[in-house]
Amino acid sequence: MPAIYGSDAYSPKQIAYKVEQVGVTKAKAPFLQTFMLGVLAGGFIAQGALFYTVVVSDVTLAPAFSRLLGGLVFATGYIVAILAGAEVFTSNNLLAMTYAAGKISIYQMLRNWGILLVANGVGAIGLAVLFIFSGLKSRGAGAIGETAYALAHTKAYLPFYEAFFLAIIGNLFVCIAVWVSLAGRSVADKVVAVLLPLTALGAIELEHITASLYFLPRGYIMQLLDPGIVPDGANPITLTAILLNFIPIILGNIVGGSLMVSTIFYVIYRRGHENESVEGID
């Protein structure tokens, strides 16, 4: 007789096993497949970031509601990426569990991350170019364009240590969201599981390298086409400022996802049991 009270969700131990096994497939996937899935992911997350920009540019919204609604629509990009099977650098920091289990080499892990950083950037920057030339920046009496540039300028001049720690927290939310999504067996399960953690990412304005690969190049290209967009007395966005912003975000995302999620769950559920299969995995 089936239990009256129960759940068909995967257990934490089963999730850990799934992450470990899926990591093997991801790390050993062909270059072109990984790259194209990364381009798609960059575009999907950039779509969420575009949606976020439009929402927070509406000054008639109360600040708290604007943040909440902005975070909610930002989450749509990552939800689509998860459901579509696209590959995101930040969530693939979970490959650290597979590496810790001895199932892949450090070269295979770093190769996957390197491909995805570039591919996510191609997808994200591609959408930034589409945004600029679509005329969307002129909508709302120019408010959307002003917000797009302001977001980029603020990020470009974040202090190193702030960007680093915001990125750690950011990828804690992302990797936990992906982790709990693996507990679900249906699309609805996965969406419900990830919605609030990913909403927090945008609402709190945490740092996520794939989103930054959209926000910062978008602002820089806007500035190249219209130097007058730089506010009086403000420093323009430079390529150096962008690169110096990317470094702490990448490092922080790796710490948050690889060390504070993957490694901890590996120690709890898989250390010493790497060669054991887990029952109940479809």
- pLDDT tens digits, residue range 189-225? 999 999 999 999 999 999 999 999 999 999 999 999 9
d(CA 98, CA 113): 13
**107-134 pLDDT, tens per residue?**
999 999 999 999 999 999 999 999 999 9
pLDDT value at residue 192: 92
* Confidence grade of residue 8 (pLDDT, cut at 50, 70, 90): confident
Quick one: tokens of 88?
A: 């995101």
pLDDT value at residue 4: 43
**50-90 pLDDT, tens per residue?**
999 999 999 999 999 999 999 999 999 999 999 999 999 99
12-270: what CATH class?
mainly alpha
Q: Does pLDDT of 242 surpass 90? A: yes
* Confidence grade of residue 94 (pLDDT, cut at 50, 70, 90): very high
pLDDT value at residue 1: 39
Q: Are 222 and 229 in contact (CB under 8 A)?
A: yes
pLDDT value at residue 5: 43
Amino acid found at 225 = L
**138-179 pLDDT, tens per residue?**
998 899 999 999 999 999 999 999 999 999 999 999 999 999
Q: Are 108 and 102 in contact (CB under 8 A)?
A: no
| Number of CB atoms found within 10 A of residue 139's CB | 13
d(CA 260, CA 254): 9
* Confidence grade of residue 29 (pLDDT, cut at 50, 70, 90): very high
How many CA atoms does the CB half-sphere of 122 hold within 13 Å?
Answer: 14
CA torsion through residues 233, 234, 239, 243, sign: positive
